[in-house]
Amino acid sequence: MHLKESERKRMEQPVSSIPYCKTGYFNQLVIDFLAEHPSLRPFYKYSPVKPDFEAAIQAKKAFSQQRDVLVEALTEQYEGLEITDSVRNNINSLLDQQTFTITTAHQPNIFTGYLYFAYKILQTIKLADQLRSQYPQYSFVPVYYMGSEDADLDELGHVYIDGKTINWPTQQAGAVGRMQPEGFDTLIDQVKQAVGYGPYAEELIALLRKAYLEHKNIQDATLYLVNELFGRYGLVVLVPDSPKLKKLFVPVMRDELFHQQSFGIVNETIAQLSQHHKVQANPREINLFYLTETSRERIVRVGDVWKVLHLPVEFTAATLEKELEEHPERFSPNVILRGMLQETILPNIAFIGGGGEIAYWLELQQLFIHYRVPYPALILRNSFLLADDNSLQRLQKLGLTIAELFEDPEDLITRFVQQHTNAALVLKDEYAAIEKLFDDLVLKAASIDVTLEASVGAERTRAVKSIGKLEHKFLRAEKKKFNWQSEQIRTLKKKLFPANSLQERKENFMPWYVTMGPAFFDLILENMDPLSDQFGIIAIRH
Q: Report CA Rg, the chain.
A: 28
Domain contains 286 = no
Domain contains 251 = no
Q: Which pLDDT score is estimated for 71? A: 98
Residues 148 and 177 in one domain: yes
Distances (CA, A) of 50 to 31, 34, 54: 16, 10, 11
Domain contains 278 = no
Q: Which pLDDT score is estimated for 414? A: 79
Neighbours of 78 (CB within 10 A): 19
Residues 519 and 418 in one domain: no
Say which DSSP state 398 is in: H
Residues 349 and 495 in one domain: no
Looking at residue 241, its amino acid is: D
Q: Which pLDDT score is estimated for 470? A: 64
Q: Which pLDDT score is estimated for 383? A: 97
* Gap between the Cα atoms of 381 and 124, Å rounded: 9
* Gap between the Cα atoms of 364 and 44, Å rounded: 9
Residues 69 and 24 in one domain: yes
Say which DSSP state 423 is in: S
Residues 124 and 167 in one domain: yes
Domain count, the chain: 2
**What strands, in cross-sheet order, belong to the sheet with 384-388?**
15-19, 534-540, 384-388
Residues 474 and 516 in one domain: no
Domain contains 374 = yes
Residues 466 and 513 in one domain: no
Q: Which of 157, 185, 188, 161 is nearest to 171 (CA)?
A: 157
Which residue blocks in 231-289 are alpha helix, DSSP H?
Answer: 243-247, 250-259, 261-273
- Domain span at residue 104 reads 5-242+337-387+501-540
Phi-psi region of 36 (alpha: psi -120 to 50; beta: other; left: phi over 0): left
Strand-pair category, 288-291 with 331-333: antiparallel
Residues 442 and 454 in one domain: yes
**Type and span of the H or E element at 18:** strand 15-19
Residue 232 and residue 121 in contact, taking contact as beta carbons nearer than 8 Å: no
Residues 415 and 444 in one domain: yes
**Nearest 5°: CA angle at 123, between 122 and 128?**
100
* Gap between the Cα atoms of 170 and 181, Å rounded: 9
10-residue mean pLDDT profile of the chain (542 residues): values are: 43 68 94 96 96 98 96 97 97 98 98 98 98 97 97 94 94 96 96 96 98 97 98 98 97 97 96 92 96 96 96 97 97 97 98 96 97 98 94 89 90 78 55 73 77 77 73 64 81 93 96 96 96 94 70
pTM metric for this prediction: 0.88
Domain contains 313 = no
Q: Which of 346, 513, 486 is nearest to 494 (CA)?
A: 486
Domain contains 294 = no
Looking at residue 132, its amino acid is: R
Neighbours of 368 (CB within 10 A): 18
Looking at residue 103, its amino acid is: T
* Gap between the Cα atoms of 330 and 159, Å rounded: 29
* Gap between the Cα atoms of 418 and 395, Å rounded: 17
Q: Which of 529, 511, 536, 528 is nearest to 163 (CA)?
A: 511
Domain contains 181 = yes
Q: Which pLDDT score is estimated for 421? A: 63
Q: Which pLDDT score is estimated for 420? A: 64
244 CB-contact burial (10 Å; exposed 0-12 / middle 13-18 / buried 19+): middle
Residues 470 and 396 in one domain: yes
Residues 213 and 223 in one domain: yes
Q: Which pLDDT score is estimated for 3? A: 45
Residues 418 and 534 in one domain: no
Which are the contacts of 346, defined by CB distance < 8 A and separation ≥ 6?
Answer: 70, 101, 103, 143, 145, 238
Domain contains 196 = yes
- Secondary-structure breakdown of the chain: helix, strand, coil percentages, each rounded to the nearest 5: 55, 15, 30
